A and B are shown apart, each in its own frame.
Chain A
């Protein structure tokens, strides 16, 4: 090829279909293929060993999967997760507002709360609340043990724990909103509440939803810890069964599959919530 044709073809191809141009050959990705084959073989071996291992007793799993005891436990796990999320984020939002306020006392209180409740392991906290009667035998004239049953203790403990994390998530979301947005809203005379509700929160949600989705899934699984104070959630329900029947593995598989199913559904929900709050900010790919 003479240097003359080279310059010409670089500018505009002479022929419309560029027939005289060299063909582009993509690089061969041998490494990629090898890695894929190795991983698939390993995965196949793992799946095979699970399906062929009779000790899993998949028949027993199927028998218990939709039994009343398991469904009751699942239901408790679901509503406990929902209540803890709602209360935790409500308290967390309040704490975030405190932390971002101009009032140094509120800021310090919020900081102190987050510091304390992030420092105490949730298991330790639940046991403390469960035994709170030792500290305060009576609350408002009622015996503490009557007032705070295991389920109430679970809600309180998990909520206080959740709020500390939620506070940081919400605070991060609010800080991610451009300061100019608030100024523009102030310049337009929008009230404090309206600025928060209509301008700041919807924009903060974009950065709140992904970590909140993470927390929701974490909380769903984390509620299994309440089995230590004999609250009959999904885990404790299957434990009650296998303590009777000694079918430990298949019943743990019942819980495992349920947790996986619910987590997957939550992931789908998160996708749509994220899409909703991405209005007007879609990235062009």
Chain B
């Protein structure tokens, strides 16, 4: 039996510093109203889970980076980071 390796990429996309995040601001205001005064900043973003079939971690890494640069994030306004886990 051939076992095809499967990787799971967990990708976070958030606004870069200096880009206004009105949703994050609004949520922050709401938190302050609830009394959570220790919160200094909120960044709202996107989270994606991408399953990759038949690729090793070494192969997956540059592919996912490329996906982020090309499509998932607009690097004019957003930055991204991701982790890779093998799926059993």
Q: Tell me whether A and B are bound partners.
A: no
